[in-house]
Structure 1
Amino acid sequence: MSGIPTDVGQQVFHEHRSLLFSVAYRLLGSAADAEDAVQDAWLKWSAADRSHVADPKAYLTRIVSNLALERLRSARHTRESYVGPWLPEPVLTAPDAAETVTAAESVSMALLVVLETLSPLERAVFVLNEVFGYSHAETARMMERSEPAVRQAAHRARAHVRARRPRFTADRSRQRQVTERFFAAATGGDVGALMELLSPDVTLWTDGGGKVRQALRPVVGAATVASWFAAIGTVTYQGVEPADMRAELAQINGGSGIVFRAAARVIATVTFDFDADGRITAIHNVANPDKLQAVTGGTTHDLGTR
């Protein structure tokens, strides 16, 4: 029997629900899977003997982390056979919702893509240590691993992320300005203006998942990428005429991005990586309809770390 009345248990869970989603989403890169993990955590929490739970937040974080790890391990084979580049599922975030720049960057497409290359244990340890501030000892208890094993996994993960994540990034106001200029240039078909915003070796990653037509390999180079986006207003896309498509600026994964819509559905999202000068170094374009449900639903997530 639980030592906490059901209504109180519901209240405690509700207080930490946003945090649990934040943990699960960073571990899985999928809003749908993260929601499922949070729901499974509720089932475990409601059925558990909570009379000896001294720290509900840590207890719930442990539950959702392990549930997310199970899902991550089972998803790896599917992702390995994915058609074209695999990108995380985008989510809408409130402007400056994450309480620090570090928290915001930890849900960026750039970092989530890097985290995808870690082992499940390394990813969990990195997220819990580096993003949520749990010690190695606390993480070891959550993961039911020895502390030396967790320290070793943390060392490997940090080195891997440090080597692959963007080294420099412009401040957030500069990022917003460049995104707005990119939006105007793309929707206006201005190749020259787009070229000014792009790094010479900019890379465009497109994720259609085999469901819609997209580039199956990265598109590299400012001229090619600029031409790709300048054509938006002149070509039919997914059966949608340019006149029936609309684009809007939005806050996506902690940064400025663009949402493309047609009728009542979202057909693509675009997010950016920047260098220290504010030039765009990478573009992530998610068009797989299975990954656009969270944005289509319009739910804004607070992906903070508290």
Structure 2
Amino acid sequence: MEEQIYLSYKPLMFSLAYRMLGSVMDAEDVVQEAFLYANETNLDHVHNPKAYLCKIVTNRCIDNLRSASKKREVYVGPWLPEPLLTPSADRQISPDLAYTHKESLSTAYLLLLQQLSWIERAVFLLREVLQYEYDEIAEIVGKSSTNCRQIFRRAKNAISLPPERDLEAKAPLKQTTAVVEQFVHALMSGNIGQLLTLVKSDAVLFSDGGGKVKAAVHPITGVERIAKFLSGVLTKLPEGYHFTLTSVNDQLGIVAFVNELPNNVMTFQVEDGQIKSFYIVSNPDKLRHLEKSRTEA
């Protein structure tokens, strides 16, 4: 395979695979396998290399999801997608996919996608996020363009996306960043009064430890309970704990370390100037790629 094809389409393939799987490491594996498989094919005889590669990636993602479905059924506590550090992702996503940075990387968006069947997810992403025409989608997923239209409509209705296609429309990026920064300052300074004003009364905190580390097995609801939980966590921080604010899934998030090893990642959903949802990933299996990226940095 020509190196130019690899360089041109790898960002697109990763964009699709990550949103299908919610896993950075699995997405990287799927993309690598897809290019290895395609390398064995004489692409000179392939009419549309991009659609051909998307078809391979889509099928491999569905195979991956099928094999992981039983593990998901017995997963301990809430399941959250692997956090993606978007400063590095900026180098992976081509300019024509700039829209994906506005909404489709957020943790809340990725969780909405989990409500869809595998084929619905593929059709929805190819159309809504990657802006494919229905004829192209039909070629990729092996269904008629009419059927793809129906699947897309059903998928969009199922996850109740707002018509303006902007999950974070009520919270522009600058506002989200300001709220998160204020929240972190209030939490670290112990200013519970300020913290309560920054979090919605019916907010929900999801903590994904995967049964590997201590985490809340059930979502924590209500601003008072969340404040109490987070304050309790702060009193038990291990020696060598430190954190940094950085772009995670294209929103400002917190990446925490203990002795330079990633300990947890927290992202947020902001609505109307307040935090509506907290997402904490502490499952070490979902943080391994952060060790790799930190080593390579």
Tell me if TM exceeds 0.5: yes
Q: 1:286 Cα deviation (Å)?
A: 0.4
Q: Which residue of 1 aligns with 2:284?
A: 289
Query: Which of residues 85, 88, 92 is equivalent to 2:78?
Result: 85
Q: Structure 2: which 5+ residue stretches go unaligned? A: none
Alignment of 1:248 onto 2:244:
yes
Q: 1:148 Cα deviation (Å)?
A: 2.9
Q: Distance in 1 between matches of 2:103 and 2:138?
A: 25
CA displacement, residues 138-195 of structure 1 (integer Å, 9 cap, x when unaligned) = 1111011222322221111100122699575311001111111111122223222211
Query: Which of residues 102, 111, 136 is equivalent to 1:138?
Result: 136
> What is the SS of the residue equivalent to 1:78?
helix
Alignment of 1:64 onto 2:65:
no
Equivalent runs, 1:10-159 vs 2, <5 Å: 10-94=3-87, 97=90, 100=98, 102-159=100-157
Q: Distance in 2 between matches of 1:154 and 1:60?
A: 21
Alignment of 1:199 onto 2:200:
yes
- Highest relative contact order (Cα 8 Å, sep 6+), 1 or 2? 1
CA displacement, residues 194-224 of structure 1 (integer Å, 9 cap, x when unaligned) = 1111001000000000001111111000111
Q: Structure 1: which 5+ residue stretches go unaligned? A: 1-5, 300-306
Q: Which residue of 1 aligns with 2:180?
A: 179
CA displacement, residues 40-87 of structure 1 (integer Å, 9 cap, x when unaligned) = 111111101212223322222222122112112222221121100000
State the AA in 2 paired with 1:79. R
TM-score (normalizing by structure 2): 0.90
- RMSD value over aligned CA atoms? 2.0
The answer (yes or no) to whether the contact 1:104–1:253 under 8 Å persists in 2 is no
Q: 1:102 Cα deviation (Å)?
A: 5.0
State the AA in 1 paired with 2:8. E
> What is the SS of the residue equivalent to 1:84?
coil
Q: Distance in 1 between matches of 2:89 and 2:241?
A: 28
The answer (yes or no) to whether the contact 1:92–1:253 under 8 Å persists in 2 is yes
Q: Distance in 1 between matches of 2:188 and 2:77?
A: 26
- CA 1:166/1:202 → structure 2, altered by over 3 Å: closer, same or farther? farther
Work out the percentage of aligned pairs sharing the same amino acid: 38
The answer (yes or no) to whether the contact 1:185–1:230 under 8 Å persists in 2 is no
State the AA in 1 paired with 2:268. F
Give the number of equivalent residue pairs: 286
Q: Distance in 2 between matches of 1:102 and 1:202?
A: 26
Q: Distance in 1 between matches of 2:79 and 2:234?
A: 26
Q: Distance in 2 between matches of 1:16 and 1:175?
A: 31
Q: 1:107 Cα deviation (Å)?
A: 1.1
Q: Distance in 1 between matches of 2:143 and 2:47?
A: 21
The answer (yes or no) to whether the contact 1:249–1:258 under 8 Å persists in 2 is yes
Q: Which residue of 1 aligns with 2:267?
A: 271
Q: Which residue of 2 aligns with 1:227?
A: 228
Q: Distance in 1 between matches of 2:34 and 2:249?
A: 23
